[in-house]
Amino acid sequence: MAVRVAIAGLGFGAEFIPIYQAHPDAELVAVCQRTESTLSEVADHFGVPGRYTSFEEMIADPDIDAVHINTPIPNHAAQSVAALRAGKHVACTVPMATSLEECWAVVEAARESGRTYMMMETVVYSREFLRVRELVDDGTIGRIQFLRGSHHQEMAGWPGYWEGLPPMHYATHAVSPVLTLAGALAESVVCLGSGRISPELTAHYGSPFAVESALLTLRDSPVGAEVARSLFETAREYVESFTVFGSRATFEWEQTEGAGHVLHVGEKPEPVDVPDYAHLLPAEIARFTTDGVYDDENEHLSFVQGSGHGGSHPHLAHEFVRAVVEGRPPSIDAVTAANWTAVGICAHDSAMAGGARVAIPDFAGAP
């Protein structure tokens, strides 16, 4: 029986409508959007039968099995908890939450409901990440010695709640690849806040820093990691990147888009090809690694700046649907998502405390 999916939030969320419609194990039965005109326009375009302007009414629908949340960040945790308690499986775009208390609430709701929760982190299903994971798994990299992640993005022009957001409060694009490749969760963080943003931006969240840079210790691992973030008033071409230092080879992300990624074999740098990984997907959704739903004039900002998130969208939807069908934890379950999200929250707390070390909670245990 197909998993009956509903999507909440039709900006970035619309990218997933045709993927679920085409997936052999899913049925896209409803969409939800506060603005009724947008709801009708998108639902009419894709032929979606169920239409809601109220999230609460949507999750009360007994004909919906799973909800994919693509709403504003401040709503993620509360909506995830509400949907899980309503008996729905939940996929949620990043980050999981905006506080440690919210992270715990989602973890507990997932545990108590017995339903699937998956955070839809794009980087760890991008073609670049899948290629590097191959290089790690086949021994090309050797022992991982150190990992570095960064995400630099100018957020001017994004919705108002982004204004002045602490850089590390949106850090999972930089955190997730380093922790996944290390095969470990974060244990503690020390973070330096650097530079200053305008008083007008600072006033929104009380966060003055232009850049936040963190060093992570990893649980039960000798490997360390570094993560850097900027959101405002820091000049840099958009980049979500990671670098993996190994005993045999080091993968280094390209410095500018199109320059090419580099594999340092010993001390010799070589270009590294990054293929597409559509062959890992059901044939019905394979084309969505390269095709978005927007035309050139109407692409979502995340798609324009992020180069389509590395073809990750169908991989994410497929993992979520298969986890529900198979009754298994997804690759980014609630405990993992909480750890990745908490790294950023605790990093910002560290920066505000002058670089004090902050322990990351163990979300597999009790609060």
Domain coordinates in residue numbering, the chain: 3-121+310-332, 123-277+342-359
A 10 A CB-CB count for 53 gives 14
Identify the pLDDT of residue 16: 96
Identify the pLDDT of residue 358: 98
Identify the pLDDT of residue 157: 82
Identify the pLDDT of residue 300: 45
- β-bridge mates for residue 89, sequence order: 66
The ranges of the chain with pLDDT < 70 are 292-307
Which residue has 């210790």 as its token pair?
217
Phi/psi at 302 (5° precision):
-65, -30
Among residues 97, 106, 91, which one has the least CA distance to residue 323?
A: 91
Residue type, 90: V
Q: Angle CA(160)–CA(16)–CA(36) in degrees, nearest 5? A: 55
Euclidean distance between CA atoms 169 and 160, whole angstroms: 15
Identify the pLDDT of residue 292: 61
H helix intervals, the chain: 17-22, 36-46, 55-59, 76-85, 100-113, 127-137, 172-182, 199-205, 301-306, 313-326, 334-352
Quote the DSSP letter at residue 295.
Answer: -
Identify the pLDDT of residue 303: 47
Q: Does domain 3-121+310-332 have CATH number 3.40.50.300?
A: no
Identify the pLDDT of residue 154: 95
CATH, domain 123-277+342-359, list 3.30.360.10, 3.40.50.150, 3.40.190.100, 1.20.1420.30: 3.30.360.10
Contact between residue 96 and residue 77 where contact means Cβ atoms under 8 Å apart = yes
Q: What's the token pair of residue 205?
A: 């969240």
Identify the pLDDT of residue 306: 41
Contact between residue 133 and residue 246 where contact means Cβ atoms under 8 Å apart = no
Identify the pLDDT of residue 293: 55
Among residues 166, 159, 108, 147, which one has the least CA distance to residue 335?
A: 108
